[in-house]
Amino acid sequence: MPYRNLNPTQAKELLDGGEGWVYVDVRTEGEFAQGHAAGACNIPVAVGHPPQMAVNNDFLAVVKANFKKNQKLVLACAAGGRSSKACEILVNAGYSDLVNMKGGLMGARDPMGNVEKGWATLGYPTETTVAAGKSYDALRRNV
């Protein structure tokens, strides 16, 4: 299986499990600055503002510069769409331990219209400060 789709509760269990999983927020820098999961790294998979977003051509290079192909990564965005795309890009580049956090930070609706709660709406730790070395600006300097 190229990557797993897990809900925020399952993703948090992985992150808290001591196995070295890293939370990578693939939202834009502006979205990340407004609030993100505590301790998250930011590597946007898309740039711009909706609906005028485009793929970030540096996404893969920045991931490769900061994480080995066997690094365990939980990828998340606002609702799960962009992080799914990020997982596809990384699978195609040879990454193997990937999780797409469906429902993302803010939550999403499933195909039946039911609300799937996100990381923040479940009350999991969030912050607006960025730890040293985890901002997109800092991570892309490693390329």
In contact, 90 and 72? CB cutoff 8 Å: no
List of the chain residues with pLDDT < 70: 1
pLDDT at 112: 81
User: Where are the domains positioned within the chain?
Assistant: 4-140
Contact call for residues 24 and 76 (beta carbons, < 8 A): yes
Helix axes 81-92, 59-66, angle to 10 degrees: 70
Q: Who's near 79: CB < 8 A, 6+ residues apart?
A: 103, 104, 106, 107, 108, 118
Superfamily per CATH, domain 4-140: Rhodanese-like domain (3.40.250.10)
- List, by residue number, the catalytic residues: 77
Looking at residue 86, its pLDDT comes to 98
What local confidence, expressed as pLDDT, does residue 125 receive?
96
